[in-house]
Structure formats: structure tokens, C-alpha cells
Amino acid sequence: MAFVSQAVDRVFKMNVEMMGLQLLLPEIFVLTMACIVLVLDLFLHDRNRVVTYGLSQLTLFGALALVIALADGDSHTAMFGTYVADPMASLAKAFVMLVVFAVFLYSKDYLRQRDLFKGEYYVLGLFGVLGMMVMISAHSYLTLYLGLELLSLSLYAMVAFHRDSGVASEAAMKYFVLGALASGMLLYGMSLIYGITGSLNIAEVAASIGAMAELELALIFALSFVVLGLAFKLGAVPFHMWIPDVYHGAPTCVTLFIGSAPKIAAFAMAMRLLAESLGGVQADWGGMLAILAVLSLAVGNVIAIAQANLKRMLAYSTISHVGFLLLGILSGTVEGYASALFYAITYAIMAAAAFGMIILLSRTGFEADTLEDFKGLNARSPWHAFLMLLVMFSMAGVPPTVGFYAKLAVIQAVVGVDLLWLALVAVFFSIIGAFYYLRVVKLMYFDEPLDSQPLEYGTDMHVAISVNGLAILLLGLFPGALMSACMAAMGL
């Protein structure tokens, strides 16, 4: 009897310890489903591969439902304080699910046409999603690093997915080596902070820095490594060299994945690291981010003009958008953080649509990834030309698309902390950047098509890209709901 009561006691204690596990339900669900999909896919014949695709989409849908069901507007920690579920996490995760849903859908036909329709793409994608979720909800440096590595390792493998492609292998190698270097930098900074504050927990690090009578020089040293690692992962100049090669070399469906949802997760990582744990040294990292932001805006916008390859052009455009994202973060105010979150989410939606259009125009044995391929799109398909026009206008920041509102919110936040010169720099380079976006529009509407073959796409693709393109317009016309959700996520 004593043994039984002891066992019951133990189980009870275990339950107490495991309390908070219900907060992790979305992550647990995605992990379980990813494992199920992985094993199930082994036993599927190639012609039934669509089951893998369906289950992956179902997983995202289920995880989205769980994230929404668990969001209660409060902040809770779980797993001994290493995991946090707060409004920012819920919002970011929900949009990660939505964007990846679109990514998987766009990729299906592209993979099929290239004989790459394998379960591994979806399994790696799901593990990448899990990594993003862990990053977004990290409340300890270790959790953050774990999520980041899970995402990065999945992405390295996905870039190398097309085994026979030389450029893809080269891109994967560069991405892997530079990514590993960046992880090392980040980890070094984290370990120094651990040495200074004696904790890896984000709240405890923040409290420890807040209690310091005088800031230690070592802390600034550690901070610079953290910022450096972060800049590498975000692709801010001068740590941007991997972005063009990876975007260009990877299969378009993988570029689509890398270029969209991970930006939201990277924003969340920057928030957890800089704003939440190192908020006490905001003056120092604000200055570092200002340099990175100005350089990113300048280099990204100017070099993009010289690109003939659309994927490469969008890679440089990403770099310039990262500059805007950093502007929102460096302002250090709640409005700034909210505007940066808004920017990250809308950028992910725009990037999904932009790469989705490249996929839509491509077909078996033909990659529509140069500017030439978009010539005269209006004559071939006015509706798709219009969608691409919306995407380009939004990236350039032309009203009434959402890109305009996102840029406006960030600039307002920067002006709000009296950094007028930064706002002017941002506007100046946006005007330069408008040139290469509008050039695509000019090619589509005023040039003769080089390619007269009709576009090949499925109904699902057509519907999804239409919804995606119209979302850019609608969010621009009615930005209030998403903006107030972002404000609420930052506790305003």
C-alpha cells in the first residue's frame, strides 16, 4: 500500500511539474504530426504523395486553430520558465501558419513539374515551422537557440533539396557555413551574458541588468556579438552576403519558404533578445541597429537596381526591408515594436505573393526568374499582371497597398523618438528603391511578351495567389485591425 500511495504521489507531483504543458499544445501537435507525416510518407507510393501534402496542410491548420484557441491575451510561462505564451507569440505564430500554408500550396505544382515532389520537402518544412514556433515562444537563451537551429538546419537541407543542381548545392554550402558562423557568434554573445548575469532566462537577465549600478563594459562586448549574430540571421548589411546567393540558387519553392515566414520568427527573436532581455542597454544596441539599418537600406536598394534576375532582385529588396524592420525595433518604444511586427507580417505576405508569382509563371523545364520573363504579362494574363502590380506597389510603398502603411508606421515610430535623420534616410532610399519595383510594372504593362505560351496553373494556386494579392490591397485599405492586433501584442 505504501508503494502505491508513493506512486500516486509521484504521478501527482509529475502533473504539477508538467503544468504549463497545455500551453505547448501547438508545438506538441506540430512535432507529433511532423513525425507521423515522416513515417507515413515512407510507406506511400509516389502517386499518393499528395497525402503527405494534405496532412502537412492539415497540420498547419490544426496548429493555427490551437494557437487561436489558446490565446487569452495574457502572458504565461511554462517548462520551468523557458517557454512563454504571450499575445505577441500568438499573433506571430498565427501568421507563420498562414504564410507557410500558402508556401506549401504554391510549391506543390512547382515540385511536381520538377520531379521533386517528395515528402521530405513538407517534413522539413514542418520541422522548420516547429523551429519558428520555438523561437517565437522562447523565454530562455537556450530555447531561442534551439528553435533557431531547428529552423536553420531544416532550411540548409531544403536549399540543397535539388540534388542535381550545381547552384543549389553552392547556395546550400554558403548558407550552411555562414549560418554556422553566425550561430557561433550568437552563442558566444549569449555565453558572455550568462557569465555576466548568471542566468539564461530572459526575464532574469533583464532583471539582473536592471539591478546593475553601473553598466559593465563586458556587457556591451557581449551585446555586440549578439547583435552581430542577429544581423547575420536577418541578413542586414554588412552581414548580408549569403542572401542573394541563397535566394538565387535555391529552388524557387524553397526561396519562397526562406523569404517569407522566417522573417516573422526572426523579428520575434530580435524582440526576445534585444527588447525583452537586453532592454536595459537599449541606448547601445539602438545605435548599432541604426548603422545596420542605414547600410541595409542603402546597399539593398541601390544594388537591387543592377539585378536582371528577379529572385536576386527580391533578395536585395529583402535586405532593404530588413533595414526598415530594424528601424522599428531600434526606436525602442512600444509603437516602434508594434510597427516592426506589422512590417514583418506584411512583408512575409508580400514575399509569399512575389515568389508565388514566379512559381506561377514557371513551368516544366522553365524558371520564370528573370525580369525578361515578366515582359508583357498584361497581354498574357491581365489578372496576374494586376496581382504582381499590387505586390510591386506594396514593396515600393505606394498607397493604397499595405506596404505604404507599414513604412508609414515605422517612420512615425522613428520620428516619435526624435530620430528625424533616420526617417529621412529611409524615405530617400525608398524613393530610389521604387525605381526597380516600378520597372517590373513597366515591363509587364508596356513591353511586348517574349513568351507567348499560356500560363499553367491549378485552380487552388489561382485562388490562393488571388487571395494573397488581394490581401495586400485589403490590408492596405483597412490596416486598422492588424495594426491594433500588433499594438495589443506589444501590450498597448
Partner 1 sequence: MLENYLPILVFIGIGVVIGAIAIAVGFLLGPHKPDSEKNSPYECGFEAFEDSRMKFDVRYYLVAILFIIFDLEIAFLFPWAIVLEDIGLFGFLAMVLFLGILVIGFIYEWKKGALEWE
CB of residue 35 vs partner 1: minimum separation in angstroms? 5
C-alpha angle with apex 392: 388 to 394, nearest 5 degrees? 115
43 binds partner 1 (CB under 8 A): yes
Q: Give yes or no for residue 14 binding partner 1 (CB under 8 A).
A: yes
177 binds partner 1 (CB under 8 A): no
Q: Is the dihedral of CA 301, 307, 313, 315 positive or negative?
A: negative
Region near partner 1 per CB under 8 A, out of 7-15, 239-247, 378-386, 391-399: 7-15
Binding flag, residue 22, partner 1 (CB under 8 A): no
SS3 198: coil
Q: How near is the Cβ of 138 to partner 1 at its closest, in Å?
A: 19
Q: What is the distance of C-alpha 9 from the center of its chain?
A: 45
Determine if 3 is a binding residue for partner 1 (CB under 8 A): no
**The cell 502517386 sits on which residue?**
47
Q: Quick check: 182 and 239 in contact, CB under 8 A?
A: yes
Instruction: Determine if 283 is a binding residue for partner 1 (CB under 8 A).
Output: no
Burial of 32 (C-beta count, 10 Å sphere; 0-12/13-18/19+): exposed
Under the binding rule (CB under 8 A), the answer on residue 13 touching partner 1 is: yes
Stretch that binds partner 1, among 5-13, 155-163, 315-323, 425-433 (CB under 8 A): 5-13
Check: CB of residue 66 under 8 Å from CB of residue 29. yes
Q: Is 39 in the site for partner 1 (CB under 8 A)?
A: yes
Q: Residue 19, interface with partner 1 (CB under 8 A)?
A: no
Nearer to partner 1, 39 or 431 (CB): 39
**From 2, 4, 42, 213, residue interacting with partner 1 (rule: CB under 8 A):** 42
427 lies in the binding site for partner 1 (CB under 8 A) = no
Residue 4 engages partner 1 in binding (rule: CB under 8 A): no
Toward partner 1, which CB reaches closer, 10 or 442? 10
Q: What count of other Cβ atoms lies within 10 Å of the Cβ of residue 466?
A: 15
For partner 1, give the closer residue by CB, 17 or 115. Answer: 17
Minimal distance, residue 42 CB to partner 1, in Å: 4
Long-range contacts of 54-58 (CB under 8 A, 24+ apart): 56/104, 56/122, 56/123, 56/125, 56/126, 57/101, 57/104, 57/105, 58/33
Q: Cell 510591386, residue?
A: 392
180 contacts partner 1 (rule: CB under 8 A): no
Distances in Å between the alpha carbon of 84 and those of 17, 131, 200, 401? Answer: 16, 15, 14, 34
By C-beta, is 119 or 249 nearer to partner 1? 119
Binding segment toward partner 1, per CB under 8 A, in 38-46, 284-292, 373-381, 401-409: 38-46
At residue 458's C-alpha, the angle toward residues 455 and 460, to 5°, is: 135
Q: Is 216 in the site for partner 1 (CB under 8 A)?
A: no
Q: Is residue 2 part of the contact set for partner 1 (CB under 8 A)?
A: no
Are the C-beta atoms of 444 and 388 separated by less than 8 Å?
yes
**Site membership for partner 1, residue 442 (CB under 8 A):** no
Q: Number of residues interacting with partner 1: please give it, by CB under 8 A.
A: 11
Rounded CA-CA distance 278/286 in Å is: 11
- Is 25 a binder of partner 1 (CB under 8 A)? no
251: left (phi over 0), alpha (psi -120 to 50) or beta: beta
119/328 with CB nearer partner 1: 119
Q: Which of 1, 2, 4, 11 binds partner 1 (CB under 8 A)?
A: 11
Dihedral over alpha carbons 131, 135, 140, 141 (to 10 degrees): 90
Considering the complex, state which of residue 80 and residue 421 has its C-beta at the smaller distance from partner 1: 80
- Asked whether 437 and 396 are in contact (CB, 8 A), the reply is yes
Cα separation, 357 vs 469, in Å, equals 10
Residue 18 as a binder of partner 1 (CB under 8 A): the answer is: yes
- Fill in the DSSP letter of residue 326: H
For residue 478, give the C-alpha cell: 483597412
State how far the Cα of 404 lies from the Cα of 339, in Å rounded to an integer: 12
Among 20, 25, 29, 38, binds partner 1 (CB under 8 A): 38
- Contact between 17 and partner 1 per CB under 8 A: yes
Query: How far apart are CB 50 and partner 1 at their closest, in Å?
Result: 20
In angstroms, rounded to a whole number, what is the distance separating the alpha carbons of residues 260 and 60?
Answer: 16
Q: Which is nearer to partner 1, 21 or 432 (CB)?
A: 21
Task: Tell me how far, at minimum, the Cβ of 146 lies from partner 1, in Å.
Answer: 14
Least distance to partner 1, CB of residue 14, Å: 4
Q: Is 481 in the site for partner 1 (CB under 8 A)?
A: no
Binding site for partner 1 (CB under 8 A): 10-11, 13-14, 17-18, 35, 38-39, 42-43
